[in-house]
Chains A and B, each alone.
Chain A
Amino acid sequence: MRRDMAAKGKITINQGLCKACELCLTVCPDEAIRLSDSLNEKGYHPAETAKESCRGCALCAVMCPETAIEVYRE
């Protein structure tokens, strides 16, 4: 499957909950997540969407210890 065909998903990250454990980064097959340059209230660099390559597989949400990620798919 070509990447642009697979890209049919979307995530939202509740950055206030994020503790920058990076586990979502390790499981995302589409490299769609990265850590932000800015800090959240807790003092972490929270995860953010890196590019529009998300396919809505929800692996990041399954992994996320903070339940900070919601996943949508077309």
Chain B
Amino acid sequence: MKTVYTRPKTLKPVSNHYCPGCGHSIIHRLVCELVDEMDMRGRIICIPPAGCAVLAYNYFDFDVCESAHGRGCAIATGFKRAQPDRIIFTYQGDGDMAAIGTAETLHAANRGEKITSIFVNNAVYGMTGGQMAPTTLIGQKTTTSPYGRRTEVEGYPLKITELIATLPGAAYVARTSLANPVKIRETKKAIKKAFEVQISGAGYSLVEVLSPCPTNWNMSPREAFVYLEEIMEKEYPLGVMKDNTAKKDK
């Protein structure tokens, strides 16, 4: 029998700390598959966030540099400017990317920094125990929005991906979801494209991945994946928001 599916080499053969059904671990695998398939191990550097993915270095068998909460894109900028021929990516949660790190993210994108950001949107602060995130849905209950997010008090879900898509420095911007195997494959394709865009030197690339946090959504993994598809994808429509390289192809 031939092997159809096996663990990517750069995903260390260890158990991870993520909760059952957490999207982070799926995205980790996709990244490692791409590092293997695109033969990037020898030239890729990851900057994980402060967030549930802070321990990504326990799983990624390639170079990883920790970051303070939200500073990923600035650190990535330092790496990329110092080593323009390396592939640099940040891996960030919604709090990391769209709250405390908004400035670093927007400006890296606007400078057209040749880096890639993988932005894991689970609509809550997972690591710190399920507090409200900038991306929390209207009405969504979290530990710091116990009455549900109210626009008049907490404002609106922040669509940083749409914002970034308006910036000339951003070359590829997409939003995908982990809701089912087809969408997971789409996610992998988008991340692959984002890396290719970086390698081509076209500019900043960003893939926002809608990802479940069953623990802080107070759901079973099964329920969380349904919620992801039926509720979250409504607020955050999927698709490629920008692809400068496609324009050039035409």
Asked if A and B touch directly (CB within 8 angstroms), the answer is yes
Give A residues with C-beta under 8 Å from B: 9-10, 16-17, 19-23, 26-27, 42, 44, 56, 58-59, 61-67, 69-74
For B1-40 the 0/1 string (1 means CB < 8 A from A) is 1111111100100011011111111100100000000000
Main secondary structure of the interface of B (DSSP, over half): mixed
Judge whether B225 is part of the interface by a CB distance below 8 angstroms.
yes
B175-218 residues with Cβ-Cβ distance < 8 A to A are 180-181, 184-185, 214
A27 with B181: CB separation less than 8 A:
yes
Query: Chain B contacts of A67 at CB under 8 A?
Result: 7-8, 11, 25, 29
A–B Cβ pairs within 8 angstroms, 22 of them? A16-B15, A19-B20, A19-B21, A22-B220, A22-B221, A23-B21, A23-B221, A26-B222, A27-B180, A44-B20, A58-B5, A62-B185, A63-B26, A63-B181, A65-B26, A65-B29, A66-B25, A67-B7, A67-B11, A70-B7, A71-B4, A72-B4
B4 with A9: CB separation less than 8 A:
yes
- Tell me the smallest distance from the CB of A49 to a CB of chain B, in Å: 14
A23 with B225: CB separation less than 8 A:
yes
B21 with A65: CB separation less than 8 A:
yes
- Tell me the smallest distance from the CB of B24 to a CB of chain A, in Å: 8
Give the interface residue-count category, chain B. 20 to 34
User: B6 is contacted by which of A10, A59, A70, A74 (Cβ under 8 Å)?
Assistant: A70
Highest count of chain B CB atoms <10 Å: which of A26, A27, A65: A65
B2 with A73: CB separation less than 8 A:
yes
Other 16 A-B pairs with CB < 8 A, given A22-B21, A61-B5, A65-B20: A21-B21, A21-B222, A23-B222, A23-B225, A27-B180, A27-B181, A59-B181, A61-B4, A63-B184, A65-B21, A67-B7, A67-B29, A69-B5, A71-B3, A72-B1, A72-B2
